[in-house]
Amino acid sequence: MEGLKREFKKLGTLSLFFFIGFGYILVLMKLFLKEYSINSYVFSKAIIGALIAAKSVAIMDTTPWLNLFARFPRYINVLYKTIIYTLAVVVIGIIENLIHAYRETKILSTAISTFLKSENIYSFTAVILCIAVVFLIYNIFEEIRIYLGKGTLSKLFFGKPSNSNVTH
């Protein structure tokens, strides 16, 4: 039962972090698209993306191949994990876009060509770059959390400062 509680707490924390990060990206996209009178729905995308990312990160973090560089300087581990997570998003995003293009064309080679020639490739690349930054921030904070020890990072941001740390 304790393990289940810990899993839900980790998923909840990860989901909240990714919801804030993805929500920020999607709201920016919505604001940019509004200038061209293009409506987009971002809230559901942010929720679904955050839940998928949270569960994926939770699963991937337990695999030994994701922690190949755990004994190297922390920045290498941060960059490695960021690249792996981002590559996973790229693969899923390409598959999603190809499915949409295939529904329109009904021919795989034409769907690939349509995807590569469309303006969608630029927004896809922009979103991937933004998501990579969210993963980078997550991985940096994760390494800081590991370095400081359990609960210290949470206390730093959510705990009351002690009187000796307050400057006037």
Per residue of the chain (168 residues), give pLDDT as tens.
787 888 888 888 899 999 999 888 888 877 877 777 766 666 777 788 888 888 888 888 888 888 889 889 999 999 999 999 999 989 988 888 888 888 888 888 888 888 888 767 787 888 889 899 999 999 999 999 889 888 888 888 888 877 665 565
Range of the domain at 3: 1-55
Residues 4 and 27 in one domain: yes
Instruction: Specify the number of domains making up the chain.
Output: 2
**pLDDT recorded at residue 139:** 94
**pLDDT recorded at residue 28:** 83
Is 163 a domain residue? Answer: no
Please choose, from the candidates 139, 5, 21, the residue with its C-alpha nearest in 3D space to the C-alpha of residue 78: 139
**pLDDT recorded at residue 72:** 92
| Cβ neighbours for 81, distance < 8 A, ≥ 6 positions apart | 66, 135, 139
Is 160 a domain residue? Answer: no
Residues 35 and 89 in one domain: no
